[in-house]
Amino acid sequence: MNGRQSAAFAAGLALFLIAATALLPFVLGDLGLRADFSARNLAPAAAHPFGTDQMGRDILARSLHGLALSLQIGLLAAGISVALSALMAMASGLGRRADQIAAFVTDGFLAMPHLMLLILLAFAFGGGTTAVILAVAISHWPRLARILRAELLQIRAAPYVETARALGRTRLHITRAHILPHLLPQMLVGFLLMFPHAILHEAALTFLGFGLEPSRPAIGVMLSEAMRHISAGRWWLALFPGLMLLGLVLSFEMLGTALRRLLSPRGAQC
């Protein structure tokens, strides 16, 4: 199996894991989510592979629903962030003055401590699901914007773009026909690599109390609740949700890395 086949296999495996994570909660419905005080604080066993919490709810079912919720939030946050990155990169191509302003704004966001910026944004937007999505989206665009800007400046200096400009093609035509097709693969890979960051930071904000509502089956909520019970020996409350979150994040990392290899000209020759 060559490098390209290995990348395709890794991408397929990652897609399968992500799809299973997204679809399983719909298959399960509310099974395991309702309180059952006769099954409180049970250790992992055949009936409950990941154990139960202080209200008798199944940890596996809650973790799957929490990951599905994280996927929804990550999808929206990463999508908005990629759109902001693309707009800022396009603004850099409007002229020297616009490029200076875009670079100043990008550097300003990058200079702020990341977690502090997330907390401030989530607090400013009032907390909750919408606040988390906006906070993650607004804080994650600068790095991708820098990559897209560098790619855009390189494409604008390419001979075929100079030829199109000399032939009288409009800026809109050049952007649509020559620049965007080259930026789309970078945007796709950036979107996939931004996804795990969005998921992790959503969980971190929720864990710190600035994110999702405590009533929702979110991974951050579960980890926050588990901190109050670990000292009593209920290790499964934090271990299994944390491992499932890590597995989902690594799946996106694997998918993004595999697609970057498949889409690159060098990877196509492997």
Q: What is the CATH classification number for the domain harbouring 233?
A: 1.10.3720.10
| Tally of domains within the chain | 1
| pLDDT over 80 at 269, yes or no | no
Q: Quick one: average pLDDT of 39-63? A: 87
Whole-Å CA distances, 36 to 24, 40, 247: 21, 7, 28
The per-residue pLDDT for range 113-170, each reduced to its tens digit, is 888 888 888 888 887 888 888 888 888 888 888 888 888 888 877 888 788 778 777 7
Assigned domain for 42 exists: no
Assigned domain for 78 exists: yes
Assigned domain for 197 exists: yes
Domain range for 68: 3-37+51-268
Assigned domain for 44 exists: no
Residue 222: its pLDDT value, please? 86
Instruction: State the DSSP code for 268.
Output: H
What percent of the chain stands above pLDDT 90?
A: 1
Assigned domain for 43 exists: no
Single-letter amino acid, residue 1: M
Reduced to 3 states (helix: H, G, I; strand: E, B; else coil), residue 170 is coil
Confidence of residue 270 (pLDDT cuts 50, 70, 90): low
**Residue where the block lists tokens 């271990």:** 239
Assigned domain for 206 exists: yes
Assigned domain for 30 exists: yes
2 vs 241, residue with greater confidence: 241
Interior/surface letters 140-161, b for 16+ CB within 10 angstroms, e for the rest: bbbbbbbbbbebbeebbeeeeb
Assigned domain for 46 exists: no
Residue 80: its pLDDT value, please? 92
Instruction: State the DSSP code for 52.
Output: B
Residue 99: its pLDDT value, please? 80
How many Å apart are CA 196 and CA 252, to the nearest integer? 6
Work out the mean pLDDT of the chain and round it to a whole number.
Answer: 83
How many Å apart are CA 231 and CA 39, to the nearest integer? 20
Reduced to 3 states (helix: H, G, I; strand: E, B; else coil), residue 228 is coil
Confidence of residue 187 (pLDDT cuts 50, 70, 90): confident
Residue 174: its pLDDT value, please? 77
How many Å apart are CA 240 and CA 242, to the nearest integer? 5
Asked if residue 261 lies in contact with residue 3, where contact means CB atoms within 8 angstroms, the answer is yes
The model's pTM is 0.79
| pLDDT over 70 at 264, yes or no | no
How far, rounded to the nearest angstrom, does the alpha carbon of residue 246 sit from its chain's CA centroid?
13
Residue 168: its pLDDT value, please? 79
Residue 33, φ and ψ in degrees, nearest 5: -95, -20
How many Å apart are CA 192 and CA 215, to the nearest integer? 29
